[in-house]
Structure 1
Amino acid sequence: MLRVNQLTISRQGNTLLDNVSCEIDSNQLVALVGHNGSGKSTLIKALAGEMMSSGGSISLDERRISDYSSKALARQMAYLPQQLPEAAGFSVRELVMLGRYPHQKWLQKPNQMDKDKVIEAMRITQTEAFADRITATLSGGERARVWLAMCLAQDTRYLLLDEPLAALDMHYQLEVIQLIRRLVDEQGLSVVIILHDINLAAQYADRVIALKNGRICHNGDIGSTMQPTVLHKIFNVDMQLLSHPITGQPVAVA
């Protein structure tokens, strides 16, 4: 289990997270929601070991993540930042193979297991058809799936995604979030994803953690989240709830 205990993060006199506590259970899709600047990216970076805390702790299997080496932690958690690294010159296959780095020794060439994991990751994300194409030639949705394939090749238990849908149009947003849902259901992954659309969160996530001014203002399942009073508390907007005509799930309308 991934556990956050009274986590506080301050930088240059500003408190980015204030006494945050939560748990990420196995085999769940957890949506992080809230206003811009609420602390979502800070929390997901801290979970990934990318930001040091000013107080409190984050533990994985009862061991502080600060006690893991960078490679050991990367064998447990894959992190996809909001600003993706430059990879224009890589082929899809080469980029996905980078996910195997935590499992390789210094200057080790890919072995058969590495190659098999890459093939499997591309199969799951349906990216095999353009394995030899340069990533710069892909559409937004294709690139998103390739980066997910790289994370899958990393072969971890946890997947941390910072706004992976932000630059995608509606078609690709649905394509990618449906893929992420399948990864949870079929691969047994635990996924933490930052989303701006509460209705996508309600349709695909198991649980919602909402942040406001660096604190958790709500942490609950979809039923407890999709309530007018709770949504107002999170977003400061009055919302009405309708039933989805196909799924029957609640849909928030401002």
Structure 2
Amino acid sequence: MLQPRPTGTPRVALFVTCLVDLYRPTVGFAAIKLLEAAGCQVVVPEAQTCCGQPGYNSGDRATAKDLARSVIDAFLPYDHTVVPSGSCGGMIAHHYPGLFDDDPQYRGKAEALAAKTHELVSFLTDVLGVEAVKARHDGVVTYHDSCAGLRELGIKAQPRSLLGSVDGLVLKELPDAEICCGFGGTFCVKYPDISTRMVDDKAKDVVATGAETLLAGDLGCLLNMAGRLKREGAAVKVRHVAEVLADMTHDAAPIGESKV
């Protein structure tokens, strides 16, 4: 049952994503902190599942549709659905309606959910009008633009704008920031040699910036790049941008490292 809310307070459902749930819960907590600070009532629907993107990308539309129905039923009652991932956000906002071309009932529901689904940082800036955050991060960072966030959702300036308000943070642009890191969901499994070459090039570009920390908005990209940087012995920390914006870098070790 939905809980009462103050008048005018947007009720936001957080789509946590599988990778955040399994590998980096801190990102989910950071998202909640940012949304609540912006005046939202945040709910995490317990019935949420995978968005269905792995099946969709592999041609298994039946499984993708089953998962999408579950997501639609769980999230449609809320004012907005917010996702700390351009990849999952793009799946819901851009690909769900097409899954139900032969299902008039769910086609309408999918379109309604797609229209109110947003990636976390773009929701903060573009929908809520957030211009600054209260956070501090001393050091030089660089930023990788994930493919889905950039090309499907138009996320480019938004994270850079909010990072500019973080005390102590210096942003140094990454050469070829818009080029894929090689993860690509199931792409890295289907084409491992190509994927490895792509992430190797990305890791070299990251190191060349001299930045101490690499940020991005998609955990799949971050896990991929963190793994390569670690194997190359690079002294670069890797974090989700929400962790920095929420001033929660003290709550978890960098991605790919253990907190001791």
User: What TM-score comes out, normalization by structure 2 length?
Assistant: 0.25
- Output the TM-score relative to the length of structure 1: 0.25
Q: Which has the higher contact order (CA 8 A, sep 6+)?
A: 1
Structure with the largest fraction of helix: 2
